[in-house]
Amino acid sequence: MTKAAKSPVVVGDRSSPKKGVPTIQKYKPSPQKTPPKPEGKKPKIVNLKHPDGTCYGWAFFHFFDAKEELKSLSNRNGMATFIGGIEFKPFSNLTTKWLEECLFDRLVWVIRIDADLDGSEHCFPMTAHEAFGNKIARGVTAQHIWEKGAVTVTTVPLTHAEASDFDERFSAGPPRDAAADDIFDEAIRAADAELENLI
């Protein structure tokens, strides 16, 4: 009894399969819907106003990439700041602070206008409040930190509680550590009188 010889399979043969000859099928993954790529959180500038409508300052959301630029806006050394080639004059009454938590929101940079210094030399002109927020948006765009249209600018009135909370956070210094102060004082204490007289 003789066995019938099997026909060899030809790779790339597109003809219909012959009886008894295995066919090679290419793997085709089933079509899957891929979810849209999540966008990063967009940077936002908020012009902050007191409840009575006067200027408070600005809040900056998702501005981590421009934090150095924000800090440079509150310099008190009388030097202009340039962001994206745009000149920002130095003002003596602006303070920048990073706030992880506050009543207004969380994870936000805030520049506060110290209204108590209003009228003194090199103070921020209150009439330019919203224009300053727009100018910052133009600067970070011109510096290519974000693309054109990525930064939004809005104006929001603060509640009395939010404004008071901001004021407390800006006036409070870092918490004092009495034990660390004592250790430092001990480390640098005066030597005996004989040595002190030599120096």
Give residue-wise pLDDT tens across range 155-198: 999 999 999 999 999 986 555 566 777 777 777 777 777 777 77
144 found inside a domain: yes
197 found inside a domain: no
15 found inside a domain: no
129 found inside a domain: yes
31 found inside a domain: no
Widest CA span of the chain, in angstroms? Answer: 121
What the block records as the tokens of 103 is 């009543």
Least confident segment among 12-21, 28-37, 177-186: 28-37
Element (H, E) at 178: helix 178-187
More confident residue, 148 or 16: 148
Among 144, 87, 88, 85, CA closest to 111: 88
Task: Indicate the number of domains in the chain.
Answer: 1
| pLDDT for 37 | 44
Residue 52's domain comprises: 44-171
Q: Are strands 106-113 and 55-61 parallel, antiparallel or unpaired?
A: antiparallel
Q: What percent of the chain has pLDDT over 70?
A: 74
Distance of CA 30 to the CA centre of its chain: 41
176 found inside a domain: no
pTM value is 0.66
pLDDT single digits (tens) 52-87: 999 999 999 999 999 999 999 987 788 899 999 999
Q: How many Å apart are CA 34 and CA 169, to the nearest integer?
A: 45
70 found inside a domain: yes
180 found inside a domain: no
